[in-house]
Amino acid sequence: MAVTAKRKRSLAPHRSKVGATIRDVAKRAGVSVATVSRTLNGVGPVRAITSRHVLKIAQAMRYVPHAAARSLSSRRSHTLGVLLPELHGEFFSEVIRGIDVAARQRGYHILVSGSHSDTDEMIAVLAAMRGRVDGLLIMSPDLDLGPLSRNIPPAMPVVLLNSTTRSHRAIQIDNYSGAREMTRYILSLGHTWLAFIAGPERNIDAAERTRGFRDAMRGTAGRPMELEGEFTEESGYRTTSELLSRVPRPTAIFAANDAMAIGALHALREKKLRVPEDVSLAGFDDIPLARFLTPPLTTVRVDIAELGRRAVDMLLAQMEGSSASAHKDVIPTTLIVRDSCGVKSASQLDRRMK
Amino acid sequence: MAVTAKRKRSLAPHRSKVGATIRDVAKRAGVSVATVSRTLNGVGPVRAITSRHVLKIAQAMRYVPHAAARSLSSRRSHTLGVLLPELHGEFFSEVIRGIDVAARQRGYHILVSGSHSDTDEMIAVLAAMRGRVDGLLIMSPDLDLGPLSRNIPPAMPVVLLNSTTRSHRAIQIDNYSGAREMTRYILSLGHTWLAFIAGPERNIDAAERTRGFRDAMRGTAGRPMELEGEFTEESGYRTTSELLSRVPRPTAIFAANDAMAIGALHALREKKLRVPEDVSLAGFDDIPLARFLTPPLTTVRVDIAELGRRAVDMLLAQMEGSSASAHKDVIPTTLIVRDSCGVKSASQLDRRMK
DNA sequence: CCTCGCGGTGTAACCGTTTACGGAATGGCG
DNA sequence: CGCCATTCCGTAAACGGTTACACCGCGAGG
């Protein structure tokens, strides 16, 4: 007898049960698994009375379909992968929020992986996502998307955030127009000598903002000046300090993001220069603290959450095969005028002359 | 013949293939699927030479195991669920960042669902996570965890963030000590009439901070005064404006979070009151902008990312069954002294008297 | 009255892994 | 040289769903 016991293979060899399965429900409801599945998914013909009955039983048993099983069988995970670079607080949380609520609304989950500083890391994560996600939302830290692009399974729907490429759909913030508009605004205040603190060279947002600045300056009487920053507050402080030690100094400073503008503000204060009376200052991003600075910072608003939302829309459209859907999308920016920029005054002229 | 063709059931009825499977690899390598699986997972005895061969073939075929299949079979998804309430920018991103990097380091993915404003919503998401995650990290907006708690599958490992309950492991920020320490510090500057702007009643962080304030005030000569805020900058502004219209006014204001402190700062400025000369001001959280305010805000620092990291540690420990691991953990806070609080001066006394 | 069509349902194959079990070598030992 | 313990490996049964196909009634049309 011991032998037979040993011989008889356990029906569930590996592990213990977790919850009710579809077969349990079927048995209890006196129908087949097919009927249960059809009822729960609302596909195929099921008599109303049968459907009600099955639903009731399922409810009573607290049955919840096992996601892994479902996705193995149906080839869909109802999950979107989100790959993000290392990015600063507010930006990060807003993108995620936008994506999160949009995805949940459509019945999708999001598998997040953030803080990637290099492409190889992203490629590794990308591989680990096989069979786990139905589509991908990717924001790359790098300008060069080649390597990453090559490692995306060809059939995988993808939307790139703030990156540009021929091969995938993409959605971007209109950095170019924003920077151009801000530059024109500053020019319109009478400033002619304008310093621009650019972002890191390899960053695509930075590149676009620089381009916007240059285009706005082109053909005007303005004297442009470009400094290289890192998108950090420290670099804003450093470059501005350097800048101010030269005489004569510009009457306005346009930093390519708010963090650098904050650094610049500190450098200005340290030199006892008033904003905007002595020097006008502008930023980019409209991070929440921008309006709480003294003086409140004139900047360019970017609706980050909207970026996330629209990216999800775009991805789902692609997944549903609407090839008609757009391949490119652009999120507009808006100029936010506060108090940190003023008209160029006579006193500024005087000081420069002396 | 037409009949036989029709009769022969297609071997893959539903859909098209996506990538190489373990069987493809096995066939190509001339071994069984079991051997491939064992090799890839490093379990069971496999000859070194076989292992190398299999690995090479797998590599060449760009084989990546299908996550859903794996998790269906092994009962583990290598994914952690993260449920977060609606929370403000910096806090949100820091928690996620902490969790994300810690999880990835341990080979786990994270399935995120944020911006939940009520418990029912969280319960729904919770159900949708069945079979999708191996463990749960939950931060509830509500003080009462009963309903949520009841809907967590009994066998599911869980760690609660900033919530307290008997039934689950939890990790918290030491809000109590932080608030107490700040209060004592303000008292030590000579202030006796202190206004505390509390957070929303049902919020657990808020409750703890209030408790810390009260305990620090108890038994001192100080005159405490409590106002009810909402953790928003607007509510800080509103309550402070109201407060200031009364005479005499307190010489120091302690807001239960930085957002409200910012609101308070604006109200003070509006009334032409100087900080800290006329009124001292303190916050809580040390959000990044705190040090950029004018004057830089004295506050209490909370290491949010650390909260996330430690929560992951705790969860994984629980999942690995080390019942020895702690059930509770506390993240300490530190007092950050900047310029917004000053000693109570004679002039303040005078003004109160008049 | 006999098909035909169709709504409703059940059976079982299949998704791609992991793993229990047993069989085949291999090596050591008496 | 026979036997036993290892070591290595293959077979096939799960895991829990979805769904193609067969089948069964039953009303309608010929």
DSSP string computed for B274-313: -TTTT-EEE-SB--GGGGGSSSPPBEEEE-HHHHHHHHHH
* CB within 7 A of strand C (chain B, 64-93): 64-66, 69-70, 72-74
Q: Three-state DSSP class for A71? A: helix
pLDDT at B183 over 80: yes
Taking the CA of residue B112 and the nearest CA in chain A, the distance in Å comes to 6
Rounded Cα–Cα distance for residues A148 and B249 (Å): 61
Question: Are A108 and B112 in contact, with CB atoms under 8 Å apart?
Answer: no
Higher pLDDT, B193 or A6: B193
Compute the count of residue pairs across chains A and B with CB atoms less than 8 Å apart: 149
Question: Residue A71 is nearest to which of B18, B64, B68, comparing CB atoms?
Answer: B68
Contact partners, residue B231, CB within 8 Å, separation at least 6 = B88, B199, B200, B203, B206, B256, B257, B259, B260
B322 exposed, middle or buried (CB, 10 Å; 0-12, 13-18, 19+)?
Answer: exposed
CA of A191: how far to CAs of A194, A220, A225, in Å? 7, 11, 13
How many other C-beta atoms can be found within 10 angstroms of the C-beta atom of residue A82? Answer: 27
**Which structure tokens are listed for B282?**
């303190």
How many other C-beta atoms can be found within 10 angstroms of the C-beta atom of residue A12? Answer: 8
**Which structure tokens are listed for A125?**
């994560």
% of chain B surpassing 70 pLDDT = 90
B contact test, residue of A109, A113, A156, A340 with most B CBs within 10 A: A109
Question: Are B240 and B271 in contact, with CB atoms under 8 Å apart?
Answer: no
Whether the CB of B84 is less than 7 Å away from nucleic strand D comes out as: no
DSSP state of B227: E
Query: What pLDDT was estimated at residue B121?
Result: 86
Q: Å from A64 (CA) to C16 (C1')?
A: 22
Query: What pLDDT was estimated at residue B237?
Result: 94
Question: Residue B292 is nearest to which of A71, A97, A293, comparing CB atoms?
Answer: A293
The helix or strand, by DSSP H or E, that contains position B228, with its residue range, turns out to be: strand B223-228
Q: Search chain A and give the residue with CA nearest B294.
A: A294
Query: What pLDDT was estimated at residue B17?
Result: 47
Provide the sign of the torsion angle of the four alpha carbons B108, B122, A316, B89, taken in this order: negative
Q: Å from B2 (CA) to D27 (C1')?
A: 32
Determine if the peptide bond prior to A147 is cis (ω within 30°).
Answer: no
CA of B198: how far to CAs of A74, A153, B188, B224, B259, in Å? 51, 52, 21, 12, 12
Least confident of A8-12, A39-43, B183-187, B326-330: A8-12
Rounded Cα–Cα distance for residues A126 and A147 (Å): 12
Whether the CB of A4 is less than 7 Å away from nucleic strand D comes out as: no
DSSP state of A228: E
Judged by CB atoms closer than 8 Å, whether chains meet at A90 and B94 is answered as no
pLDDT tens for each residue of B265-295: 999 998 999 999 999 999 999 987 788 888 9
pTM score of the predicted model = 0.85
Q: Å from B34 (CA) to D5 (C1')?
A: 23
Taking the CA of residue A222 and the nearest CA in chain B, the distance in Å comes to 31
Q: Which amino acid is at B327?
A: H
Nearest to B187 by CA among B94, B120, B254, B246: B254
Which stretch, A308-312, B11-15, B123-127, B247-251, has highest mean pLDDT?
A: A308-312
Judged by CB atoms closer than 8 Å, whether chains meet at B100 and A110 is answered as no
Q: Search chain A and give the residue with CA nearest B18.
A: A155
Nearest to A276 by CA among A284, A286, A285, A265: A265
Which stretch, A137-141, B139-143, B215-219, has highest mean pLDDT?
A: B215-219
Q: Which nucleotides of D are covered by protein (CB under 7 A)?
A: 7-22
Question: Are B342 and B281 in contact, with CB atoms under 8 Å apart?
Answer: no
Terminal-residue alpha carbon distance, chain B: 110
What does the CA dihedral B311, B316, B318, B322 come to, rounded to 10 degrees? -120
What is the per-residue burial (b if ≥16 Cβ within 10 Å, else e) of B218-231? eeeebebbebebbb
CA nearest to nucleotide D19 C1': residue: B14
Whether the CB of A30 is less than 7 Å away from nucleic strand C comes out as: yes
On chain B, the residues whose CB falls within 8 A of the CB of A125 are 104
On chain B, the residues whose CB falls within 8 A of the CB of A69 are 68, 72, 131
Q: Which amino acid is at A287?
A: I
B272 exposed, middle or buried (CB, 10 Å; 0-12, 13-18, 19+)?
Answer: exposed
Which residues of chain A carry a pLDDT beneath 70? 1-18, 89, 141-143, 322-324, 346-354
Whether the CB of B4 is less than 7 Å away from nucleic strand D comes out as: no
